[in-house]
Amino acid sequence: MRLEGKRAIVTGAGSGFGEGIAMRFAAEGAQVMVADINAEGAERVASACGGIAQRVDVANGDSVAEMVARAVAEMGRVDILVNNAGITHLPAPMEEVSEDDFDRVFAVNCKSVYLTARALVGHMKALGAGAILNVASTAGVSPRPRLNWYNASKGWMNTATKAMAIELAPAGVRVNALNPVAGDTPLLASFMGEDTPEMRAKFLSTIPIGRFSTPEDLANAALFLCSDEASMVTGVCMEVDGGRCI
Protein backbone atom coordinates (compact mmCIF):
# COMPACT_ATOMS: atom_id res chain seq x y z
CA MET A 1 0.00 0.00 0.00
CA ARG A 2 2.71 2.45 -1.00
CA LEU A 3 0.19 4.96 -2.37
CA GLU A 4 -2.43 4.61 0.33
CA GLY A 5 -4.55 7.76 0.54
CA LYS A 6 -3.14 9.23 -2.69
CA ARG A 7 -5.30 10.49 -5.55
CA ALA A 8 -3.96 10.14 -9.07
CA ILE A 9 -4.81 11.00 -12.66
CA VAL A 10 -3.30 8.75 -15.34
CA THR A 11 -3.80 9.81 -18.96
CA GLY A 12 -3.79 7.31 -21.78
CA ALA A 13 -4.82 4.75 -19.18
CA GLY A 14 -7.30 2.87 -21.36
CA SER A 15 -4.58 0.53 -22.67
CA GLY A 16 -0.86 -0.21 -22.71
CA PHE A 17 1.54 1.43 -20.28
CA GLY A 18 -1.16 3.69 -18.84
CA GLU A 19 -3.39 0.73 -18.04
CA GLY A 20 -0.52 -1.00 -16.25
CA ILE A 21 0.26 2.13 -14.23
CA ALA A 22 -3.38 2.73 -13.27
CA MET A 23 -3.87 -0.87 -12.19
CA ARG A 24 -0.69 -0.88 -10.10
CA PHE A 25 -1.47 2.46 -8.47
CA ALA A 26 -4.92 1.22 -7.48
CA ALA A 27 -3.46 -2.03 -6.12
CA GLU A 28 -1.10 0.09 -4.00
CA GLY A 29 -3.96 2.03 -2.43
CA ALA A 30 -4.44 5.04 -4.70
CA GLN A 31 -7.75 6.34 -5.98
CA VAL A 32 -7.24 6.65 -9.73
CA MET A 33 -8.91 8.64 -12.46
CA VAL A 34 -8.48 6.57 -15.62
CA ALA A 35 -8.39 9.15 -18.43
CA ASP A 36 -8.29 8.30 -22.11
CA ILE A 37 -9.65 9.58 -25.42
CA ASN A 38 -11.08 6.07 -25.82
CA ALA A 39 -14.01 6.19 -23.39
CA GLU A 40 -14.65 2.47 -23.72
CA GLY A 41 -11.08 1.63 -22.74
CA ALA A 42 -11.21 4.05 -19.82
CA GLU A 43 -14.45 2.47 -18.57
CA ARG A 44 -12.99 -1.03 -18.83
CA VAL A 45 -9.84 -0.20 -16.86
CA ALA A 46 -11.69 1.93 -14.29
CA SER A 47 -14.11 -0.93 -13.70
CA ALA A 48 -11.20 -3.33 -13.19
CA CYS A 49 -9.37 -1.10 -10.70
CA GLY A 50 -12.26 0.62 -8.95
CA GLY A 51 -11.31 3.95 -10.48
CA ILE A 52 -13.11 6.86 -12.15
CA ALA A 53 -13.37 6.77 -15.94
CA GLN A 54 -12.92 10.07 -17.77
CA ARG A 55 -12.84 10.68 -21.50
CA VAL A 56 -10.22 13.31 -22.29
CA ASP A 57 -8.51 14.77 -25.33
CA VAL A 58 -5.17 15.75 -23.80
CA ALA A 59 -4.45 18.13 -26.70
CA ASN A 60 -7.57 20.19 -25.96
CA GLY A 61 -7.41 22.75 -23.16
CA ASP A 62 -11.13 22.65 -22.32
CA SER A 63 -11.12 18.86 -22.16
CA VAL A 64 -8.08 18.82 -19.86
CA ALA A 65 -9.60 21.50 -17.60
CA GLU A 66 -12.80 19.47 -17.37
CA MET A 67 -10.81 16.36 -16.42
CA VAL A 68 -8.92 18.14 -13.64
CA ALA A 69 -12.03 19.86 -12.31
CA ARG A 70 -13.88 16.55 -12.08
CA ALA A 71 -10.91 14.84 -10.43
CA VAL A 72 -10.70 17.53 -7.73
CA ALA A 73 -14.47 17.54 -7.24
CA GLU A 74 -14.80 13.77 -6.91
CA MET A 75 -11.51 12.85 -5.23
CA GLY A 76 -10.99 16.00 -3.15
CA ARG A 77 -7.49 16.64 -4.42
CA VAL A 78 -4.91 15.35 -6.91
CA ASP A 79 -1.56 14.20 -5.54
CA ILE A 80 -0.19 12.48 -8.64
CA LEU A 81 -0.40 13.20 -12.37
CA VAL A 82 0.94 10.76 -14.95
CA ASN A 83 1.17 12.27 -18.45
CA ASN A 84 1.20 8.97 -20.30
CA ALA A 85 -1.01 9.63 -23.34
CA GLY A 86 1.10 9.63 -26.48
CA ILE A 87 1.14 8.87 -30.19
CA THR A 88 3.64 8.50 -33.01
CA HIS A 89 3.75 8.94 -36.75
CA LEU A 90 4.47 5.98 -38.99
CA PRO A 91 8.14 5.42 -39.87
CA ALA A 92 9.08 7.63 -42.83
CA PRO A 93 11.86 9.92 -44.03
CA MET A 94 11.59 13.14 -42.03
CA GLU A 95 10.69 15.27 -45.05
CA GLU A 96 7.80 12.97 -45.97
CA VAL A 97 5.92 13.16 -42.66
CA SER A 98 2.78 15.21 -43.25
CA GLU A 99 2.19 18.50 -41.49
CA ASP A 100 -1.01 17.06 -40.00
CA ASP A 101 0.92 14.12 -38.51
CA PHE A 102 3.61 16.45 -37.17
CA ASP A 103 1.01 18.70 -35.52
CA ARG A 104 -0.82 15.72 -34.02
CA VAL A 105 2.36 14.24 -32.52
CA PHE A 106 3.38 17.53 -30.91
CA ALA A 107 -0.15 18.29 -29.71
CA VAL A 108 -0.56 14.95 -27.94
CA ASN A 109 3.02 14.41 -26.76
CA CYS A 110 4.04 17.99 -25.91
CA LYS A 111 1.15 20.44 -25.73
CA SER A 112 -0.63 18.02 -23.38
CA VAL A 113 2.11 18.44 -20.77
CA TYR A 114 1.61 22.21 -20.90
CA LEU A 115 -2.17 21.87 -20.69
CA THR A 116 -2.16 19.52 -17.69
CA ALA A 117 0.40 21.75 -15.95
CA ARG A 118 -1.74 24.82 -16.61
CA ALA A 119 -4.78 23.06 -15.16
CA LEU A 120 -3.17 21.31 -12.18
CA VAL A 121 0.08 22.95 -11.03
CA GLY A 122 -1.74 25.72 -9.14
CA HIS A 123 -3.70 23.07 -7.23
CA MET A 124 -0.51 21.18 -6.32
CA LYS A 125 1.24 24.39 -5.26
CA ALA A 126 -1.68 25.12 -2.94
CA LEU A 127 -1.31 21.63 -1.45
CA GLY A 128 2.44 22.18 -1.06
CA ALA A 129 3.06 18.74 -2.55
CA GLY A 130 2.60 16.69 -5.67
CA ALA A 131 4.25 14.31 -8.11
CA ILE A 132 4.12 14.67 -11.88
CA LEU A 133 5.42 11.89 -14.11
CA ASN A 134 5.90 12.35 -17.85
CA VAL A 135 6.15 9.20 -19.96
CA ALA A 136 8.70 10.01 -22.66
CA SER A 137 10.72 7.40 -24.59
CA THR A 138 14.21 6.13 -25.31
CA ALA A 139 13.54 7.72 -28.72
CA GLY A 140 14.12 11.05 -26.98
CA VAL A 141 17.51 9.89 -25.67
CA SER A 142 18.83 7.73 -28.51
CA PRO A 143 16.73 8.48 -31.62
CA ARG A 144 15.73 5.84 -34.15
CA PRO A 145 15.86 6.69 -37.88
CA ARG A 146 12.60 7.43 -39.69
CA LEU A 147 10.83 8.45 -36.48
CA ASN A 148 12.39 11.90 -36.46
CA TRP A 149 9.53 14.08 -35.25
CA TYR A 150 8.39 11.50 -32.69
CA ASN A 151 11.99 11.40 -31.40
CA ALA A 152 11.99 15.19 -31.15
CA SER A 153 8.69 15.27 -29.25
CA LYS A 154 10.01 12.86 -26.65
CA GLY A 155 13.25 14.81 -26.32
CA TRP A 156 11.06 17.85 -25.66
CA MET A 157 9.31 15.92 -22.88
CA ASN A 158 12.63 15.13 -21.20
CA THR A 159 13.72 18.78 -21.29
CA ALA A 160 10.30 19.93 -20.10
CA THR A 161 10.56 17.50 -17.19
CA LYS A 162 13.83 19.03 -16.00
CA ALA A 163 12.57 22.59 -16.51
CA MET A 164 9.37 21.83 -14.58
CA ALA A 165 11.31 20.09 -11.82
CA ILE A 166 13.64 23.00 -11.13
CA GLU A 167 10.82 25.53 -11.10
CA LEU A 168 8.41 23.51 -8.97
CA ALA A 169 10.84 22.07 -6.42
CA PRO A 170 10.48 25.04 -4.02
CA ALA A 171 6.70 24.46 -4.07
CA GLY A 172 7.11 20.83 -3.00
CA VAL A 173 6.12 19.42 -6.38
CA ARG A 174 8.39 16.77 -7.91
CA VAL A 175 8.56 16.13 -11.66
CA ASN A 176 10.19 13.09 -13.23
CA ALA A 177 10.02 11.15 -16.49
CA LEU A 178 10.23 7.59 -17.72
CA ASN A 179 12.01 6.65 -20.94
CA PRO A 180 10.67 3.22 -21.90
CA VAL A 181 12.01 1.19 -24.77
CA ALA A 182 9.47 -0.11 -27.29
CA GLY A 183 6.78 -2.06 -25.48
CA ASP A 184 4.40 -4.80 -26.52
CA THR A 185 1.49 -2.36 -26.51
CA PRO A 186 -1.02 -1.11 -29.12
CA LEU A 187 1.55 1.48 -30.33
CA LEU A 188 4.21 -1.11 -31.21
CA ALA A 189 2.95 -1.71 -34.75
CA SER A 190 3.03 2.05 -35.43
CA PHE A 191 6.68 2.28 -34.34
CA MET A 192 7.69 -0.65 -36.51
CA GLY A 193 5.57 0.29 -39.51
CA GLU A 194 4.44 -3.33 -39.76
CA ASP A 195 4.12 -6.02 -37.11
CA THR A 196 5.98 -8.99 -38.52
CA PRO A 197 8.34 -11.51 -36.89
CA GLU A 198 11.18 -9.96 -38.89
CA MET A 199 10.47 -6.42 -37.69
CA ARG A 200 10.08 -7.60 -34.09
CA ALA A 201 13.44 -9.37 -34.33
CA LYS A 202 15.04 -6.20 -35.71
CA PHE A 203 13.74 -4.11 -32.81
CA LEU A 204 14.63 -6.74 -30.22
CA SER A 205 18.20 -6.88 -31.50
CA THR A 206 18.70 -3.33 -30.17
CA ILE A 207 17.62 -4.25 -26.61
CA PRO A 208 20.45 -5.98 -24.69
CA ILE A 209 18.08 -7.65 -22.21
CA GLY A 210 16.36 -9.19 -25.21
CA ARG A 211 12.68 -8.40 -24.68
CA PHE A 212 10.22 -5.58 -25.12
CA SER A 213 9.17 -3.53 -22.11
CA THR A 214 5.84 -4.35 -20.51
CA PRO A 215 3.14 -2.30 -18.77
CA GLU A 216 4.30 -3.96 -15.54
CA ASP A 217 7.87 -2.71 -16.05
CA LEU A 218 6.62 0.85 -16.43
CA ALA A 219 4.19 0.50 -13.55
CA ASN A 220 6.95 -0.59 -11.18
CA ALA A 221 9.14 2.39 -12.08
CA ALA A 222 6.18 4.80 -11.97
CA LEU A 223 5.18 3.51 -8.55
CA PHE A 224 8.59 4.33 -7.10
CA LEU A 225 8.89 7.78 -8.68
CA CYS A 226 5.37 8.81 -7.61
CA SER A 227 5.63 7.41 -4.08
CA ASP A 228 7.01 9.12 -0.99
CA GLU A 229 9.99 6.77 -1.23
CA ALA A 230 11.25 9.05 -4.02
CA SER A 231 10.78 12.26 -2.01
CA MET A 232 14.37 13.33 -2.85
CA VAL A 233 14.08 12.46 -6.55
CA THR A 234 13.12 15.17 -9.04
CA GLY A 235 14.19 16.04 -12.58
CA VAL A 236 15.16 12.42 -13.30
CA CYS A 237 14.47 10.90 -16.71
CA MET A 238 14.70 7.20 -15.90
CA GLU A 239 15.46 4.76 -18.69
CA VAL A 240 13.37 1.59 -18.49
CA ASP A 241 14.93 0.13 -21.58
CA GLY A 242 16.78 -3.13 -20.97
CA GLY A 243 20.06 -1.38 -21.75
CA ARG A 244 19.17 0.09 -25.17
CA CYS A 245 20.60 3.53 -24.39
CA ILE A 246 23.93 2.31 -23.03
In a domain, 200, yes or no: no
pTM: 0.96
Domain ranges, residue 226: 7-183+214-239
Per-residue pLDDT of the chain (246 residues; tens, 9 = 90+): 999 999 999 999 999 999 999 999 999 999 999 999 999 999 999 999 999 999 999 999 999 999 999 999 999 999 999 999 999 999 999 999 999 999 999 999 999 999 999 999 999 999 999 999 999 999 999 999 999 999 999 999 999 999 999 999 999 999 999 999 988 777 777 777 778 888 888 889 999 999 999 999 999 999 999 999 999 999 999 999 999 999
In a domain, 43, yes or no: yes
The answer to whether 114 is a known catalytic residue is: no
Q: Look up the CATH number of the domain holding residue 99.
A: 3.40.50.720
Question: How many structural domains is the chain composed of?
Answer: 1
Q: Are 174 and 167 in contact (CB under 8 A)?
A: no
**Set 25, 150, 191, 212: catalytic member:** 150
Q: Are 11 and 82 in contact (CB under 8 A)?
A: yes
- Residue type at 114? Y
Query: Cα-atom radius of gyration of the chain, to the nearest Å?
Result: 17
Closest CA to 59 of 105, 10, 121, 13: 105
Which pLDDT score, from 0 to 100, does residue 40 have? Answer: 98
Classify 1 as helix, strand or coil: coil
Classify 209 as helix, strand or coil: coil
In a domain, 196, yes or no: no
